[in-house]
């Protein structure tokens, strides 16, 4: 998606250790007009998939997932980061290793909001090593639901997540794929996509 690439080039900040900061339009201040265009694009890309629910993870996935939900006309469920897991058996849970914070945390979704009839689109802001998405897939599997696809705003194509997911046959659509970043010059290289 050209407009997203241009925005990343203009406002993205390349940090050390392969971290791209997009706080001015995606992760802190949010450009909802841009989110609408992203949602339209996901709607087009997943037009042939059966989708009745969107699943994301707190916090930075929630904004984009909510706008996407308006276009898909489905509810959004977000996985919550939790200290105590499954004490009373009322939640599905998985463990996720945070790429940016370098720690492992639990995420949970109430059993009330996922069920075997659900066809789920995962939406998230970034795809790096794929831990966040794989944690959400684990939760979908626990619920006996079906994964219809994964919609990502920014994939870092030089990390392994996208390759792993696509190789296992999952329909992944990333609106911008960064294939390289130079922390010294701040340059960002995008993969050309159809």
Q: Which helix (H) or strand (E) holds 132?
A: helix 131-143
Among 11, 40, 45, 100, binds ligand 5GP (CB under 6 A): 100
Of 60 and 93, the one with the shorter C-beta distance to ligand 5GP is: 60
Of 17 and 88, the one with the shorter C-beta distance to ligand 5GP is: 17
Q: Which helix (H) or strand (E) holds 164?
A: helix 161-167
Of 130 and 157, the one with the shorter C-beta distance to ligand 5GP is: 130
Of 8 and 145, the one with the shorter C-beta distance to ligand 5GP is: 8
Residue ranges in 61-80 that form contacts with ligand 5GP under rule CB under 6 A: none
Distance CA 109, CA 96 (A): 13
Question: By three-state DSSP, how is residue 103 classified?
Answer: coil
Place of tokens 């450009």: 31
Q: Residue count at the site for ligand 5GP (CB under 6 A)?
A: 19
Q: Which two tokens stand for residue 109?
A: 């979704």
Among 53, 60, 177, 190, binds ligand 5GP (CB under 6 A): 60
Among 13, 131, 164, 170, binds ligand 5GP (CB under 6 A): 131
Residue ranges in 17-56 that form contacts with ligand 5GP under rule CB under 6 A: 19-22, 27
Query: Distances in Å between the alpha carbon of 153 and those of 1, 4, 126, 169, 182?
Result: 9, 8, 6, 19, 20
Distance CA 82, CA 108 (A): 7
Interface residues with ligand 5GP (CB under 6 A)? 19-22, 27, 60, 99-100, 124-132, 156, 161
């Amino acid at each position: 998606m050209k407009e997203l690439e241009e925005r990343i080039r203009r406002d993205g900040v390349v940090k050390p250790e392969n971290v791209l900061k997009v706080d001015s339009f995606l992760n802190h201040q949010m450009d909802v007009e841009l989110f609408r265009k992203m949602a339209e694009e996901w709607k087009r890309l997943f037009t042939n998939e059966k989708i009745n629910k969107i699943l994301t993870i707190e916090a930075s996935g929630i904004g984009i997932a909510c706008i996407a939900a308006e276009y898909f006309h489905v509810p959004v469920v977000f996985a919550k980061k939790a200290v105590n897991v499954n004490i009373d058996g009322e939640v599905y849970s998985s463990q996720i290793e945070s790429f940016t914070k370098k720690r492992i945390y639990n995420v949970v979704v109430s059993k009330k909001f996922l069920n075997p009839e659900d066809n789920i689109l995962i939406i998230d802001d970034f795809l790096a090593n794929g831990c966040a998405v794989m944690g959400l897939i684990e939760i979908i599997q626990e619920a006996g639901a079906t994964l219809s696809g994964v919609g990502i705003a920014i994939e870092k194509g030089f990390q392994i997540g996208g390759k792993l997911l696509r190789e296992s046959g999952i329909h992944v659509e990333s609106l911008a794929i960064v294939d390289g970043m130079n922390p010294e010059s701040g340059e960002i290289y995008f993969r050309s996509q159809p």
